[in-house]
Structure 1
Amino acid sequence: MVKKEFPDEEEIVFCTVDKILGTSIFVKLDDYEDKEAVIHISEIAPGRIRNIRDYVVPNKKIACKVLAVDAASGKIDLSLRRVTAKEKKDLFEEHKKEKDSAAVLKIWAEQAQLNFQEITEKILAKFEKLSLFLQDIKEDPEKLKQLSINKKQEEILLQLIKERVKSKKIELKKKISLSSKAENGIVLIKNLLKLTKPAKVTYLSSPFYLLEIEAGDYKEANRLLEEKIKILKENAKQKSVEIEILE
């Protein structure tokens, strides 16, 4: 699988604080080969900031939202204050899951007499994450054939997965407002919401609805959620429906 060289705008990224210079924080993007990115003081927290170190210090792990990416110059601007508590929690859980997955694979490499570095590189060439690999194998063991390993090595990994890998999904939610002044407004809104399948839509109270997406990891869930929101926005106008995306 080809890994992206740069993150997308609006993406939530896992970072390590590198240094603080003046009114800027320089961080390394853990999932993008430690590429450097910058957080301006205005994007650290709401209100006036007297001391940046009250919020971050070198080597601290933080979750940030990507504001802008200039691939030509390599400049990446981030925001710390625009990340919600839910987004931060999900991202940190995802990274813990990745760390735990690496631990499982290290045990497997030792027991199956495999080179840990080589086998993880082979896995990441075909799967986006180690945790997704383990989940996929748990659901469909036949996918192990992609690694060209022997039967005994397959059996060892399947047993470890059975013992140590739990089936867990990441769920993301977004509150939206939908309204229409048309006589058949309710029908128009219902037809619009059909476009979000297989996402779950819950009616809260007029004009509010809750859009829910479930996936194997945070990035995939966020991608699917943004995709459904884009579909709603693109089709709302032609269906005479007013839409507002809320937190």
Structure 2
Amino acid sequence: MKYSGWPDTGELVVGKIDEIEDFGVFVDLEEYEDKRGLIHISEVASGWIKNVRDHVREGQIVVCKVLDVDESHEQIDLSLKDVNDHQRSDKIQDWKNEQKADNWMELAFGEDIGSEQYISIANELLGAHGSLYDGFKQAAIHGHEALENTDLADDEVDAIVETARENVSVPYVNVTGYVDLENPDPSGVDGVREALKAAEGNGDVPEEIELEVTYVGAPEYRIKVRAPNYKAAESALEESARRAVAAIGEHGGDGEFHRERRTDDE
């Protein structure tokens, strides 16, 4: 997606060096439609510059800081030297992420998606999550819930969530805990089995959470949770254990949650 407007003064922009002259460098802005900027030789690098080509080359992708924008003269002044390594790395990553998101838009709505529909959908994602990439990322993690506060049509939400789940790699964390379940009641094994089903959520675990309960050694069971972040993972782990303890308690049994394994063997 390329913006039709103008960059703001102070903004970091990605550009491709198009032309090198003795007095400076012309740069095509990758994020803006038909916009070109100039890096004066004094803004290419710190110190005295004998030959501009010692510092840049045609076709090179660079990150620049916008020094000034004169829309009436269609002039954008840029600086290369005012961008540090950290800023450059972060900006390039953001730009690459938006390119990925642009591709996901085509996957979700077809290569022939009209500009009006594209802009409409993009604006909803930008408004809700700040960028196209983060919009798809949140849809991959939280599903339809991530797009509840948008004006997107149901079929548009479905397409975004489906595409996100198939293409977006999201960071996940894993946490593990243990629950001891003992049941002296006549219900015995059946009571424990019901407690384990309760621990697994009885099919009512959020889409973004993966939860597995396995036998370790009587009376201990392992609960493994995979979630998008530690807060969600810890919450799901504790809730799983709580359900198991409550369920075994209904049969007159005892349950206890702990973080470290107590048996000697797997």
Shift of 1:58: 2.1
Gaps in structure 1 of 5+ consecutive residues? 169-247
Corresponding residue to 1:155 among 143, 154, 158: 158
1:154-178 per-position Cα deviation (integer Å, ceiling 9, x unaligned): 434313323432457xxxxxxxxxx
Percent identity, aligned pairs only, is 28
Q: Which runs of 5+ in 2 are unaligned?
A: 172-266
State the 1:88 CA deviation. 0.3
Please report how far the alpha carbon of residue 53 of structure 1 lies from its aligned counterpart in structure 2 after TM superposition: 1.8
Q: C-alpha separation between the residues in 2 aligned to 1:35 and 1:16?
A: 11
1:116 and 2:95 are equivalent in the alignment: no
Does the CA-based 8 Å contact 2:136-2:160 persist in structure 1?
no
Which of 134, 137, 152 in structure 1 is aligned with 2:136? 134
Partner Cα distance (1:101, 1:35) in 2: 22
Give the alignment's Cα RMSD to 1 decimal: 2.7
- Mapped partners of 1:131, 1:30: distance in 2: 17
Q: Distance in 2 between matches of 1:82 and 1:142?
A: 38
* Residue identity matched to 1:126: E
The one-letter amino acid paired with 2:151 is: Q
Displacement after TM superposition at 1:149 (Å): 4.7
Counterpart of 2:121, as a letter, is I
Aligned match of 1:224 = none
1:190-229, CA deviations, whole angstroms, 9 ceiling, x for partnerless residues? xxxxxxxxxxxxxxxxxxxxxxxxxxxxxxxxxxxxxxxx
Q: Is the 8 A contact 2:15 2:64 kept in 1?
A: yes
1:123, 1:133 within 8 Å by CA — same for their partners in 2? no
Give the TM-score normalised by structure 1: 0.56
Change (3 A) 1:142 1:93: closer
Moved segments of 4+, more than 6 Å: none
Distance 1:142 1:11, change over 3 A: closer
1:59-97 Cα shifts (integer Å, max 9, x gaps): 221100111222332221111011010100001000111
Question: 2: CA distance between counterparts of 1:144 and 1:161?
Answer: 18
How high is the TM-score relative to the length of structure 2? Answer: 0.52
Please say which of residues 77-86 and 19-28 is displaced more in the overlay: 19-28
Query: Which residue number in structure 1 is paired with residue 36 of structure 2?
Result: 36
- The answer on 1:21 being equivalent to 2:21 is yes
1:26-55 Cα shifts (integer Å, max 9, x gaps) = 112222213121111111111222221222
1:196-211 paired onto structure 2 within 5 Å: none
In the alignment, structure 1 residue 146 sits paired with structure 2 residue 151: yes
Q: Which entry has the higher C-alpha Rg, 1 or 2? A: 2
Kept after mapping to 2: 8 A contact 1:137/1:143: no
What's the counterpart of residue 79 of structure 1?
79
User: Secondary structure of 1:33's partner?
Assistant: coil
